[in-house]
A and B are shown apart, each in its own frame.
Chain A
Amino acid sequence: MSATPAHAQTDATRPPASWTGRVREAAVAALPPEKLLPEGQPTYVASWIYVFGVASLASLVVIVGSGSILALKGPAWWHYTGVGHFFNSVHLWAVELFFFAMVVHLWGKYWMAAWRGGRARVWVTGAVTFLVAIPCALTGYVSQQNFDAQWISTQAKDAMNSVGAGAFFNLTNFGQMYSYHVLLLPAAVIALVAAHVLLVRRHGVVPPPPLEKR
């Protein structure tokens, strides 16, 4: 009967030997399952301001879904067919709703001072999501493949050139703008939103400010 090899021995107290184990332990320590998917929230979370946060998430899902269909079918489809027009409009109005809901949520969280209690990263990821979403939407305007896109791109290129960014970000280069619009900037927005939601789960929703004792 042979003894158990040393590498097969399990010891809960032993630190993990590989980076995958270290990442797993760090992830579980930061976000245990009961924190990641809680069954309830404190009573102060019953506020319309959070409904607008969730509305932003729902709009983002519709944006990504309708945008994926538009990317699959191409400009001729979204300009010349009824269904294409429909999905083009769904995409536009989902973006309008995304910004509308996000701004209301952002205002609400600003006046609640949502960065209190070590929640600075929660606030910053939310605010930066808003900032990154702006060029994400604007590159969509110049990716339409119509006269509107031509007009916007030829006007906006002057703004880019005036600040010295024209060599890196050329609004009249459809390929570059389309790549930014369908890949780079949406990936950044989705990553920031994911980080924002996970940080909210980790730190919890900010409680109301304490009442001043008199």
Chain B
Amino acid sequence: MPFAVSVGALGAVFNLNHPAHVVEWHFISLSVANVVVIGLMLVVFVVAIALPFPGAARRDAARRSEETR
């Protein structure tokens, strides 16, 4: 079955048959999986702020030209 094969292949890449790895820092204790997700959220947030939205510049230019008429 292709689904079972792909799940098996993923399992070969990521061995999950062990207790979670944990990042310890003073009283903070986070699993590596959660640290990865938090890191991804920060990266996506920065990209969401920095990346121009498609068509935003065109719409803004159209609005400015309407205002100057």
Chain A contacts for B3, CB-based, 8 A: 82
Interface size class of B (residues with CB under 8 A): 10 to 19
Residue B16 interfacial (CB < 8 Å): no
Closest to B59 in A: A43
Closest to B60 in A: A43
With A47-B53, A100-B37: A52-B48 Cβ-Cβ less than 8 Å: yes
Residue B63 interfacial (CB < 8 Å): yes
With A43-B56, A43-B59, A43-B60: A49-B48 Cβ-Cβ less than 8 Å: yes
Residue A46 interfacial (CB < 8 Å): yes
**Chain A interfacial residues counted at CB < 8 A:** 14
Interface of B is mostly: helix
Q: How far is the CA of A46 from the CA of B51 in the complex (A)?
A: 11
Chain A contacts for B2, CB-based, 8 A: none
Residue A190 interfacial (CB < 8 Å): no
Q: Contact at A104–B55, with CB atoms within 8 Å?
A: no
Q: How far is the CA of A58 from the CA of B49 in the complex (A)?
A: 21
Q: How far is the CA of A96 from the CA of B44 in the complex (A)?
A: 15
| Nearest CB on B from A42, distance (A) | 9
Residue B35 interfacial (CB < 8 Å): no
Interface centre among B37, B49, B60 (most CB of A within 10 A): B49
Interface residues, chain B, CB within 8 Å of chain A?
Answer: 3, 37, 40-41, 44-45, 47-49, 51, 53, 55-56, 59-60, 63
